[in-house]
Structure 1
Amino acid sequence: MAQKTQIILTDDIDGGEATQTVTFAFQGTSYEIDLNDEHAALIEESFSEWITNARKTTGRSSAAGGAPARSSSTRASSGPKRTDLDAVRAWARDNGHTVSDRGRVSNKILEAYDAR
Structure 2
Amino acid sequence: MATNNALVDDMDGTTGPHVATVPFGIGTDRWEIDVCPDNENLMRAALQPWIERARKPARRRGRYKTKGPKTDNPVAVREWARKNGHHVSPTGRLPSSIIDAYNAEITHKQH
Normalising by structure 2, what TM-score?
0.46
Indicate the structure with greater helix content: 2
Larger RCO: Structure 1 or Structure 2 (Cα < 8 Å, ≥ 6 residues apart)? 1
Determine which structure has more spread, i.e. the larger CA radius of gyration: 2
